[in-house]
Amino acid sequence: MRKLTAGTLLTAVMATPVMANPTGGFMAVLDVNKNHTDAPSSVVFYDTTNMTAPMFAVTLGFENGGLEDPDAMTIDKATGNVYIAAFDSGTAGGVEVEIDGDQDTTGDIDLFKIDFSSAYNQWVAGGMNYTTYGSDAFDGIGSTLFDSKHTNPQALPGVVNKIGEVARTNAVADENGDYTDMHLEFVDENNLLLIDGRNDNTTAAGDHQIRVLNRVSATAGQSNVSGQEGGYNRGTSESWQSKQLGLVNLEYNTDLGEVAGSSDIVGAAYVNKDGVQGLWIVEDDGEGDDVAFFEIGDLTGADNSLNKYKGFNVGGGPDYPTQFALDDDPTVDPTANDGTADKVFVDPMTGNLVIVESGFFNDPQHEPKVIVREIDSYNDDENLIDFGAWQTPVTLDTSGALDDDSSVTDGRYSAYDPYTNTVYFYDKDGPNDGVAYNHDWYALNLTTGQLDLVALDADASTGLYGTGDQVEFFQLAAALLGDFNNNGMLEAADIDLLFGAVNSNSTDAMYDVDGDNDVDADDVAHWIQALKGTVFGDADLNGSVDLLDLDALSSNYSSAATWEGGDFNGDGTVNLLDLDVLSSNYGFAAVLSAKDFAALEAAFTSIPEPTSLALLGLSGLALLSRRSA
C-alpha cells in the first residue's frame, strides 16, 4: 500500500493554499430589487454574530443585456452553497444568442449555484471588507460588476455558475404577474423541489405543479428537451431537468365536496423524517390558511401515484384528513379557523412545524407571532402523521425603542435557526419608515420568548418583494473527523465509505483518521472504537450489540449488504465471518441473559446456511453466553 510520506505531504501542502474554514451561523438574503441598492440580482451574506452589516454579496450577472429575475433560493445546509431559480422571460423554448456566442433558451427557469466557501475564503483573504463578487463568465457581456451600483466589485472565477435551464412549470403562466412567487427547496446536490406560483389558470387541473429539478449530469449538455418535462441546458455548466410530481390542489370546496380552482401558495418546507420525505405546503384560504403534507414516495416522478397528500391520525377514519386550518392561537381555540400564515419551516431534528403567523390582517394589526405544532411521527403504524401538542405562540415584540417605524413587520421575510430555536425577521423600511430603504434585523428566541438581536437600519444594499423564498439561515459546523459525507454526523454511511477507501488502497488523507499516514484496517477500528465509542457488530451504532443488530445480520445473511445490514468486515457480504464478529461482542453495554440467548437461537432458525455452519455459529454464541453468565 502506498504510504503518505513526509515528501508527499509537503508537496500537497505547497500545492494547496490554506483556506479559511467557514463555521457558525450565516444568513443569505436574495436581493431582487433593482433600485436603492448596490447589489441588484444578488445574494447578500451576513454572519449572525454581527448582523449590523453584510459580509459580502455575490451577483448573478447579466444575460442578453438585462438583469436576471431571481425568484427564490434554497441552500445546501452542509456546504452553504446557494441554489437560485430565476425567471427567464420570452417565448417558451425560444433561443437567443448571447453576446459571447453562447445560446440561451427563453421562457424557462434558469438555475444558478453560488459557491459559498469560495466567496467566503476570498473575503477573508481580502481583509474582510465588503465586496461584491461575480463570475468572470459575465465580464464580456456588461456585467453588473461594472454598472457603478456595486461596492468594491471583484471578479471571482467560479463563484457563481448557471448550472441549468429547466422547463417552465405551467402551460399557462401569468406573464403580467409577480415573477417572484416561487418556492424552492433543497433535497440533495442532485435534486431540488420547486413550486411555481405564476399561474392564471383557475381550474384544479391547471393548478400549481410540484416539481423535482433533477441534475442529469455534472457536465454541460442537454437533457430531455421539452416544454413541460426536461430541460434545455444551453450555456450551462451542468445538465438539469424538470419533472412533475403532482399538483398543489388545496383549494377544497366543501359545498361541492371536491377540489375546485387553483391554490394560492404561501410557503413550503421540505422534511425527511421517519423514513418519509415530502413538503409541508401552506395555502392562503382567506379564513384559516390550509396546511398539508405532500409525501414524495417517488422522487424521480416515474410513478406519481406514490406522490400524494398524507393523512393525519385525527378522528376515527377511515377518511383521515389531509389538511388542517391554521388558527390565530390554537392553544386557545384550535377550531377558530382565523389564522394567516406568512412562512412555514420545519425543525429538521424534531420534524416539528414552525409557522410564522401574520398580524397584518388582524384587527387591530399586530407584529407576527410564531406557532409551533409538534409532530410525534411522520409514519405511525397506520402510515399516518401523528401530531403532538401546540406550543404557546411567541409574538415578536418591537415596541418602543426596538423599532424606528410604525409599520408591522412582514413575516414573509424570515428564516429559522433550529439549533438555537430562533426565528430571524428582516424588516423592510419603506421611504417613510426609519431610514428610507434601510432594514432592521430581529432574532426571536422561541424558547425564551425574548429578542436575542435587534439591529436597526443595518444596511441599504438589499431590497425584497414578492412571496418567494428570499431569506435563508444556514449553520456550518467545524469539520467532524470521520464524517466523510459531510452531513455533520458519524453514521453507517461513513463506515461504508471508509471500508471502500481501505479496500481500494486509497491514499486520501481524509480517511487516515488514526493519523499514522496510511489508510488501513486500523482506521476502521479507530473510527468505530475511538470516534464513535462502540464496537464491531453494532449495526445500528446505538452503542450496544444486541438483538437489533442480530436481526439486521440475520435479515441479510448470505446477501450483499453494508455495515447497517450486518457486513462488519467490509467485504460486501454478510456471512459467518460477520456472525463471528457479532458473537465476539454480543452483550457489549448489556448482559446476555438466558432470555436473550433463547431469542438468539430462535432468530437463527431462519438463516439459509448449511446446518453445520449454523450450528458452529450458535456454538460460539453459546460459549459467549456461558462466559458472560
What are the backbone angles phi and psi of residue 588, rounded to the nearest 5°? Answer: -55, 125
What are the backbone angles phi and psi of residue 500, rounded to the nearest 5°? Answer: -60, -40
What's residue 475's pLDDT? 84
User: How confident is residue 98, by pLDDT bands cut at 50, 70 and 90?
Assistant: low
What's residue 252's pLDDT? 72
Same domain, 53 and 199: yes
Among the ranges 136-140, 147-151, 274-278, which has the highest mean pLDDT value?
A: 274-278
Same domain, 240 and 116: yes
Same domain, 183 and 94: yes
**Distance spanning both ends of the chain, measured CA to CA:** 43
Same domain, 232 and 155: yes
Q: Does residue 149 surpass a pLDDT of 90?
A: no
261 lies in a domain? no
Structure-model confidence comparison of residues 458 and 586, the more confident one: 586
190 lies in a domain? yes
Q: Do the bridges between strand 422-428 and strand 394-395 make them parallel or antiparallel, or are there none, so unpaired? A: unpaired
Same domain, 166 and 197: yes
Structure-model confidence comparison of residues 93 and 386, the more confident one: 386
**Bridge partners, 269 (sequence order):** 280
170 lies in a domain? yes
Judged by average pLDDT, the poorest of 172-176, 233-237, 325-329, 364-368 is 172-176
What's residue 53's pLDDT? 84
Last residue of a domain, one of 476, 502, 523: 476
Same domain, 467 and 604: no
Structure-model confidence comparison of residues 152 and 625, the more confident one: 152
Judged by average pLDDT, the poorest of 290-299, 397-406, 582-591 is 397-406
User: How confident is residue 389, by pLDDT bands cut at 50, 70 and 90?
Assistant: very high
pLDDT in tens, 544-581: 898 999 999 999 999 999 999 999 999 999 999 999 99
Q: Does residue 486 surpass a pLDDT of 90?
A: no
What's residue 51's pLDDT? 86
Chain centre to alpha carbon of residue 240? 18
Same domain, 158 and 85: yes
What's residue 184's pLDDT? 93
Q: Give the helix/strand (H/E) hosting 186.
A: strand 182-188
Read off the C-alpha cell for 549.
443488530
Give the three-state DSSP class for 296: strand
Q: Does residue 383 surpass a pLDDT of 80?
A: yes
- Section 4-16 average pLDDT: 31
Residues 6+ apart with CB under 8 A from 384: 310, 311, 312, 313, 320
Q: Does residue 64 surpass a pLDDT of 90?
A: no
Same domain, 566 and 470: no
Residues 6+ apart with CB under 8 A from 363: none
Block residue for cell numbers 466557501: 117
Structure-model confidence comparison of residues 178 and 336, the more confident one: 336
User: How confident is residue 38, by pLDDT bands cut at 50, 70 and 90?
Assistant: low
Q: Does residue 226 surpass a pLDDT of 70?
A: no
- Section 250-276 average pLDDT: 82
Same domain, 182 and 119: yes
Q: Does residue 269 surpass a pLDDT of 50?
A: yes
Are residues 326 and 355 in contact, defined by beta-carbon separation less than 8 angstroms? yes
User: How confident is residue 11, by pLDDT bands cut at 50, 70 and 90?
Assistant: very low
Q: How far apart are CA 561 and CA 565, in angstroms?
A: 5
Q: Does residue 247 surpass a pLDDT of 70?
A: yes
Domain total of the chain = 2
Among the ranges 87-91, 286-290, 295-299, 500-504, which has the highest mean pLDDT value?
A: 295-299
Q: Does residue 356 surpass a pLDDT of 70?
A: yes
Compute the CA torsion angle 477, 478, 481, 486 (nearest 10 deg). 40
Q: Does residue 509 surpass a pLDDT of 90?
A: no
204 lies in a domain? yes
pLDDT in tens, 437-468: 567 888 999 999 998 877 776 665 555 544 55
Share of the chain above pLDDT 90, in %: 35
What's residue 401's pLDDT? 61
What's residue 614's pLDDT? 43
Average pLDDT, the chain: 78
What's residue 150's pLDDT? 59
pLDDT in tens, 592-622: 444 454 554 555 454 444 443 444 344 444 4
pLDDT in tens, 106-133: 677 889 999 999 999 999 888 999 888 8
What's residue 131's pLDDT? 87
Last residue of a domain, one of 452, 476, 500: 476
What's residue 231's pLDDT? 73
- Section 397-406 average pLDDT: 70
What's residue 615's pLDDT? 40
Same domain, 49 and 178: yes
Give the three-state DSSP class for 10: helix
Block residue for cell numbers 390565530: 328
Q: Does residue 176 surpass a pLDDT of 50?
A: no
pLDDT in tens, 301-346: 999 999 999 999 998 778 899 999 998 889 998 888 888 888 999 9
Same domain, 68 and 207: yes
Q: How far apart are CA 447 and CA 428, in angstroms?
A: 25
DSSP state, 133? E
Residues 6+ apart with CB under 8 A from 123: 55, 56, 129, 131
Q: Does residue 589 surpass a pLDDT of 70?
A: no
395 lies in a domain? no
Taking alpha carbons only, the member of 563, 620, 573 closest to residue 597 is 620
- pTM equals 0.72
52 lies in a domain? yes
Same domain, 563 and 470: no
65 lies in a domain? yes
Structure-model confidence comparison of residues 552 and 626, the more confident one: 552
Instruction: Please state whether 362 falls in left (phi above 0), alpha (psi between -120 and 50) or beta.
Output: beta
Judged by average pLDDT, the poorest of 356-370, 423-437, 536-550 is 423-437
User: How confident is residue 533, by pLDDT bands cut at 50, 70 and 90?
Assistant: confident
Domain of residue 191, residue span: 25-247+461-476
What's residue 462's pLDDT? 52
397 lies in a domain? no
